[in-house]
Amino acid sequence: MGKYTCHLSKSNIAPCVFNRPGIENCPMRIAPEILEEAKKIYKDDEEIKVITKNASIVEAAGYIKWPRLKDTIEFAKLQGYSKLGIAFCVGLTNEAKEVANILERYGFDVTSICCKTGGLSKSDVGVPKEYEMKSKTGYMIGTVTCNPVAQALLLNDAKTDMNIIVGLCVGHDISFTKYSNAPVTTLIAKDRMTQHAPASVLFTHYGKSFFSEDIRNQKKN
Ligand code: SF4
């Protein structure tokens, strides 16, 4: 078990919502100094202070009324951003076009970079040969690697104010975020199996069966 387990909170509406500590290992009981540290950061770090405030304003303004893309647009406007970057997966080129089109209609200057930019081969980043041509499910995935570092460097070169992830792979999103100078937000979390709706597997019969079987198989191996 982890040091803090907020997910084990006894009610669906956690006591911290009412500024009260909850279960035994609640951070509000056992780590008040860390919570103080966070509070100090909101006070001292001007960028974080403004971003956090504006995120909450957007949350309240569009609550259950706006799609995430509209949240992103309104957040960017509040931040005073004019140049937006899109780091997209080649498999979501149509989605990236649509996102760019909408952002431009709202008046933003949009720069976009596809994940395969640079044409770097997978062997150049240490991908074993057997993973070069085919995925484990048998679909062709090619020999050119995703290049999230180049996506970040190119968007840095374009001096974007904020970068938006459109379907980067798990892990490539980490490399991208690490090298992006501008703050990064995710619009589309890639999930090929669920049409990019990762939460959809959590409460469906098929999603639950999938994980039960997969965990059983992993224990066998
Ligand atoms: S009350 Fe404490 S343990 Fe429960 S969710 Fe909030 S911070 Fe986590």
Mapping DSSP to helix (H, G, I), strand (E, B) and coil, where does residue 87 land? strand
Give 15 Cα–ligand 1 centroid separation in angstroms. Answer: 6
pLDDT at 22: 95
From 23, 29, 30, 34, give the residue whose CB has the most ligand 1 atoms within 8 Å, as the site to mutate. 23
Percent of residues, the chain, with pLDDT higher than 90 = 86
- Inform me whether the pLDDT recorded for 140 exceeds 70: no
Query: How are beta strands 162-166 and 184-188 bridged, if at all?
Result: parallel
Q: How far is the CA of 17 from the centre of ligand 1 (A)?
A: 8
Decide: 31 in ligand 1 pocket, CB within 6 A: no
Tokens for 158? 């374009």
- Determine the Cα–Cα distance for residues 149 and 97; give it in Å rounded to an integer: 21
198-210 pLDDT, tens per residue? Answer: 999 999 998 999 9
pLDDT in tens, 1-39: 999 999 999 888 899 999 999 999 999 999 999 999 999
The lowest-confidence range among 158-162, 177-181, 207-211 is 207-211
pTM value surpassing 0.85: yes
- Whether residue 21 has its Cβ less than 6 Å from ligand 1: yes
Closest ligand 1 atom, residue 9 Cα: 4
Between CA 15 and CA 86 the distance in angstroms is 38
- Kindly state the average pLDDT of the residues 64-71: 97
